[in-house]
Amino acid sequence: MDESLDRELRSPRAAGIAGLVFAVLFVVAFVLLRRTPAAGSSAAEVAEFYLRDNVKRLAVVELYVAPFAGIAFLWFIAVIRDRIGAREDRLFATVFLGSGLLFVAMLFGAVAAGGAVLNAVKFQDAPVPGPDTVVFGRGLSYGLLYIFGMRVAAVFMAVVSTISLRTAALPRWLAFIGYAVAVVLLLGVSFTRWTVLLFPCWVAIVSIVILVRARETA
């Protein structure tokens, strides 16, 4: 088989698999990130949470889940850009790549901020923090993921949808769904935390469509 044709056949599958891996790992990381002492917890309740035996396993999982989610998303970006190839517009390509990289950076920062106290207590023998420290870490993590990260994700979705309409890389209905979800993330994510799961769901749908198309053209 010709090398260029072989690359064309493999790229969609790589994008689809990477997107699905990201979607699953992002949801897992999101759930883990929420497992912190509840707002308004007393010092005794905070100490009880961080001194549990099973919390160390949670910290280990958190350290691996989020990084691999980010790596999978980077691969998703790379193979989609490779799929567009010579048809990509420099303006949209710049925003596409920049927003994708910024999202990964915000995701890493949010998980690092949310898990910093837990990792310090369990792996660096740091003393159990007070409620104020927990509130600060939660607030920083919230800001990075919900306020900044999801806005960047919305830009990424809008750009991918626009590129899809111009190149027919994805179905038109999926592009319009991307626009709609991008608007929701831009305007409403700060009010409902679970709204962030719309982004991995969209990535999963895009991945499934890519895999189906790849099978049809194989």
pLDDT in tens, the chain (218 residues): 444 434 444 566 777 788 999 999 999 888 777 666 666 666 776 666 766 656 666 666 677 888 899 999 998 888 777 766 556 667 777 888 899 999 999 999 888 887 777 777 767 777 777 777 777 877 888 888 888 899 999 999 999 998 888 887 788 999 999 999 999 988 876 667 778 899 999 999 998 988 887 776 65
Task: Note down the domain range covering 79.
Answer: 3-217
Calculate the dihedral angle through the C-alpha atoms of 32, 198, 134, 103, rounding to the nearest 10 degrees: 100
SS3 content of the chain, % helix, strand, coil (to 5): 85, 0, 15
User: Residue 202 and residue 154: Cα distance in Å, rounded?
Assistant: 11
Are 52 and 154 in contact by the 8 Å Cβ rule? The answer is no
Q: What pLDDT shows up at residue 37?
A: 67
Q: What pLDDT shows up at residue 9?
A: 43
Q: Count up the domains in the chain and report the number.
A: 1
Q: What pLDDT shows up at residue 7?
A: 47
User: Residue 181 and residue 72: Cα distance in Å, rounded?
Assistant: 21
Its pTM surpasses 0.85: no
**Amino acid letter for position 113:** A
Q: What pLDDT shows up at residue 55?
A: 66
